[in-house]
Amino acid sequence: MSDDRSIIEGLNRRDESALQAIRQQYGTYCHNLAYRILESHEDAEECVDDMLMAVWDSIPPQHPDSLQAYLITIVRRVALSRYRHEHRQKRGGGAFTTALDELSDILPSDEHLEDTIEQRELSRALQSFLLTLKADTRQAFLRRYFLSEPVQTIAETLGTSQSAIKMALHRTRKKLKAYLEKEGLL
Protein backbone atom coordinates (compact mmCIF):
# COMPACT_ATOMS: atom_id res chain seq x y z
CA MET A 1 0.00 0.00 0.00
CA SER A 2 1.97 2.99 -1.17
CA ASP A 3 -0.22 5.37 -3.12
CA ASP A 4 -2.93 7.51 -1.54
CA ARG A 5 -5.80 5.80 -3.33
CA SER A 6 -4.84 2.36 -2.06
CA ILE A 7 -4.34 3.74 1.46
CA ILE A 8 -7.83 5.25 1.43
CA GLU A 9 -9.26 2.01 0.05
CA GLY A 10 -7.51 0.15 2.87
CA LEU A 11 -9.02 2.50 5.44
CA ASN A 12 -12.45 1.98 3.89
CA ARG A 13 -11.95 -1.79 4.28
CA ARG A 14 -10.78 -1.18 7.88
CA ASP A 15 -7.36 -2.65 7.04
CA GLU A 16 -4.93 -1.60 9.78
CA SER A 17 -1.97 -1.84 7.40
CA ALA A 18 -3.28 1.41 5.87
CA LEU A 19 -2.28 3.17 9.10
CA GLN A 20 1.23 1.74 8.82
CA ALA A 21 1.38 2.97 5.22
CA ILE A 22 0.37 6.45 6.35
CA ARG A 23 3.00 6.42 9.09
CA GLN A 24 5.65 5.23 6.65
CA GLN A 25 4.76 7.68 3.88
CA TYR A 26 3.72 10.77 5.88
CA GLY A 27 4.81 10.15 9.47
CA THR A 28 8.05 12.14 9.37
CA TYR A 29 6.41 15.07 7.62
CA CYS A 30 3.53 15.16 10.11
CA HIS A 31 5.91 14.74 13.05
CA ASN A 32 8.02 17.67 11.83
CA LEU A 33 4.94 19.88 11.49
CA ALA A 34 3.76 19.03 15.01
CA TYR A 35 7.30 19.54 16.33
CA ARG A 36 7.50 23.05 14.84
CA ILE A 37 4.34 23.93 16.74
CA LEU A 38 5.06 22.14 20.03
CA GLU A 39 8.88 22.05 20.13
CA SER A 40 8.78 18.61 21.74
CA HIS A 41 9.51 15.35 19.95
CA GLU A 42 7.42 13.36 22.45
CA ASP A 43 4.40 15.63 22.03
CA ALA A 44 4.86 15.62 18.25
CA GLU A 45 4.87 11.81 18.22
CA GLU A 46 1.68 11.77 20.30
CA CYS A 47 0.11 14.16 17.78
CA VAL A 48 0.99 11.77 14.96
CA ASP A 49 -0.61 8.92 16.93
CA ASP A 50 -3.71 11.06 17.57
CA MET A 51 -3.81 11.97 13.87
CA LEU A 52 -3.73 8.29 12.90
CA MET A 53 -6.58 7.57 15.30
CA ALA A 54 -8.58 10.50 13.89
CA VAL A 55 -8.00 9.24 10.34
CA TRP A 56 -9.10 5.75 11.36
CA ASP A 57 -12.26 7.22 12.90
CA SER A 58 -13.07 9.55 9.99
CA ILE A 59 -12.42 7.40 6.90
CA PRO A 60 -15.06 6.30 6.11
CA PRO A 61 -17.27 8.37 5.78
CA GLN A 62 -14.76 11.04 4.68
CA HIS A 63 -13.19 10.63 1.24
CA PRO A 64 -10.44 13.24 1.00
CA ASP A 65 -9.27 14.34 -2.44
CA SER A 66 -5.73 14.83 -1.11
CA LEU A 67 -4.65 12.46 1.63
CA GLN A 68 -1.57 14.56 2.40
CA ALA A 69 -3.62 17.75 2.85
CA TYR A 70 -6.13 15.84 4.97
CA LEU A 71 -3.37 14.47 7.22
CA ILE A 72 -1.67 17.86 7.53
CA THR A 73 -4.96 19.47 8.52
CA ILE A 74 -5.60 16.86 11.19
CA VAL A 75 -2.10 16.84 12.68
CA ARG A 76 -1.98 20.63 12.68
CA ARG A 77 -5.36 20.79 14.44
CA VAL A 78 -4.22 18.24 17.03
CA ALA A 79 -0.93 20.07 17.62
CA LEU A 80 -2.66 23.46 17.90
CA SER A 81 -5.14 22.03 20.37
CA ARG A 82 -2.32 20.62 22.47
CA TYR A 83 -0.38 23.89 22.20
CA ARG A 84 -3.38 25.95 23.33
CA HIS A 85 -4.00 23.58 26.20
CA GLU A 86 -0.39 23.76 27.38
CA HIS A 87 -0.07 27.54 26.94
CA ARG A 88 -3.50 28.65 28.08
CA GLN A 89 -2.17 30.90 30.85
CA LYS A 90 1.15 31.96 29.37
CA ARG A 91 2.57 32.58 25.94
CA GLY A 92 6.02 31.16 25.39
CA GLY A 93 8.71 32.51 23.09
CA GLY A 94 8.89 29.67 20.58
CA ALA A 95 8.90 29.91 16.79
CA PHE A 96 5.20 29.04 16.56
CA THR A 97 4.30 31.80 19.01
CA THR A 98 6.39 34.24 16.99
CA ALA A 99 4.53 33.29 13.82
CA LEU A 100 1.18 33.69 15.62
CA ASP A 101 2.25 37.06 17.00
CA GLU A 102 3.01 38.28 13.48
CA LEU A 103 -0.62 37.59 12.50
CA SER A 104 -2.23 38.63 15.80
CA ASP A 105 -2.86 42.21 14.68
CA ILE A 106 -4.66 41.00 11.57
CA LEU A 107 -6.70 37.95 12.56
CA PRO A 108 -9.36 38.12 15.25
CA SER A 109 -8.74 36.16 18.45
CA ASP A 110 -10.28 32.70 18.85
CA GLU A 111 -12.80 34.09 21.34
CA HIS A 112 -13.75 36.91 18.98
CA LEU A 113 -14.15 34.43 16.12
CA GLU A 114 -16.56 32.31 18.13
CA ASP A 115 -18.64 35.35 19.06
CA THR A 116 -18.79 37.27 15.78
CA ILE A 117 -18.08 35.16 12.69
CA GLU A 118 -18.12 31.60 11.57
CA GLN A 119 -14.67 30.09 11.22
CA ARG A 120 -15.70 28.77 7.82
CA GLU A 121 -16.29 32.29 6.54
CA LEU A 122 -12.80 33.33 7.58
CA SER A 123 -11.36 30.15 6.09
CA ARG A 124 -13.05 30.83 2.76
CA ALA A 125 -11.79 34.41 2.77
CA LEU A 126 -8.24 33.23 3.49
CA GLN A 127 -8.44 30.69 0.67
CA SER A 128 -9.71 33.35 -1.74
CA PHE A 129 -6.98 35.74 -0.62
CA LEU A 130 -4.28 33.12 -1.13
CA LEU A 131 -5.43 32.61 -4.71
CA THR A 132 -4.68 36.28 -5.40
CA LEU A 133 -1.00 35.85 -4.49
CA LYS A 134 1.88 34.92 -6.75
CA ALA A 135 2.99 31.31 -6.32
CA ASP A 136 6.23 32.08 -4.41
CA THR A 137 4.50 34.54 -2.10
CA ARG A 138 1.66 32.09 -1.45
CA GLN A 139 4.18 29.33 -0.74
CA ALA A 140 6.14 31.54 1.67
CA PHE A 141 2.93 32.56 3.46
CA LEU A 142 1.67 28.99 3.80
CA ARG A 143 5.06 27.69 4.91
CA ARG A 144 5.32 30.40 7.58
CA TYR A 145 1.77 30.58 8.88
CA PHE A 146 0.34 27.14 8.14
CA LEU A 147 3.40 24.92 8.49
CA SER A 148 5.20 27.24 10.99
CA GLU A 149 8.52 27.00 9.18
CA PRO A 150 11.29 29.40 10.23
CA VAL A 151 12.04 32.28 7.85
CA GLN A 152 15.54 30.88 7.24
CA THR A 153 14.14 27.53 6.07
CA ILE A 154 11.64 29.25 3.77
CA ALA A 155 14.39 31.41 2.27
CA GLU A 156 16.58 28.37 1.63
CA THR A 157 13.68 26.43 0.10
CA LEU A 158 12.70 29.29 -2.20
CA GLY A 159 16.30 30.23 -3.01
CA THR A 160 16.15 33.79 -1.74
CA SER A 161 17.33 35.87 1.22
CA GLN A 162 15.76 35.97 4.65
CA SER A 163 15.20 39.71 4.31
CA ALA A 164 13.30 39.18 1.04
CA ILE A 165 11.07 36.60 2.75
CA LYS A 166 10.50 38.88 5.75
CA MET A 167 9.56 41.75 3.44
CA ALA A 168 7.25 39.54 1.37
CA LEU A 169 5.54 38.26 4.52
CA HIS A 170 5.18 41.80 5.87
CA ARG A 171 3.60 43.03 2.63
CA THR A 172 1.34 39.97 2.47
CA ARG A 173 0.12 40.54 6.03
CA LYS A 174 -0.76 44.13 5.10
CA LYS A 175 -2.59 42.93 1.99
CA LEU A 176 -4.40 40.30 4.06
CA LYS A 177 -5.51 42.91 6.57
CA ALA A 178 -6.87 45.14 3.79
CA TYR A 179 -8.58 42.15 2.15
CA LEU A 180 -10.25 41.03 5.38
CA GLU A 181 -11.37 44.59 6.10
CA LYS A 182 -12.85 44.84 2.60
CA GLU A 183 -14.68 41.53 3.18
CA GLY A 184 -16.04 42.84 6.48
CA LEU A 185 -14.23 40.26 8.58
CA LEU A 186 -12.23 42.77 10.61
Domain layout of the chain by residue ranges: 4-86, 95-182
Instruction: Tell me the mean pLDDT in the region 76-97.
Output: 70
Per-residue pLDDT at 60: 83
Angle, vertex CA 142, rays to CA 140 and CA 146, nearest 5:
135
Do residues 55 and 47 touch, judged by C-beta distance below 8 A? no
Instruction: Identify the CA nearest to 31 among candidates 87, 80, 72.
Output: 72
Q: Using one digit for the tens of pLDDT, what is the confidence trace for 121-151?
A: 677 788 888 889 999 999 999 889 888 889 9
Taking the alpha carbons of 17, 22, 23, 24 in that order, is the dihedral positive or negative?
Answer: positive
pLDDT of 115 over the 50 cut: no
Q: Using one digit for the tens of pLDDT, what is the confidence trace for 55-69?
A: 999 888 888 888 888
Give Cβ neighbours of residue 30 (< 8 Å, ≥ 6 apart).
47, 48, 51, 71, 72, 75
Per-residue pLDDT at 104: 59
pLDDT of 112 over the 50 cut: no
Neighbours of 17 (CB within 10 A): 12
Q: Do domains 4-86 and 95-182 have the same CATH topology?
A: no
Confidence at 107, pLDDT banded by 50, 70, 90: low
- pLDDT, mean over the chain: 82
Q: Following CA atoms 29, 32, 36, 41 in sequence, which dihedral angle do they give, to the nearest 10 degrees? A: 150
Q: Which fold has domain 4-86?
A: Rna Polymerase Sigma Factor; Chain: A (1.10.1740)
Per-residue pLDDT at 182: 83
Cis peptide, bond prior to residue 61, ω within 30 of zero: yes
Per-residue pLDDT at 23: 95
Instruction: Tell me the mean pLDDT in the region 174-184.
Output: 86
Q: Which CATH architecture has domain 95-182?
A: Orthogonal Bundle (1.10)
Confidence at 54, pLDDT banded by 50, 70, 90: very high
Q: How far apart are CA 77 and CA 85, in angstroms?
A: 12
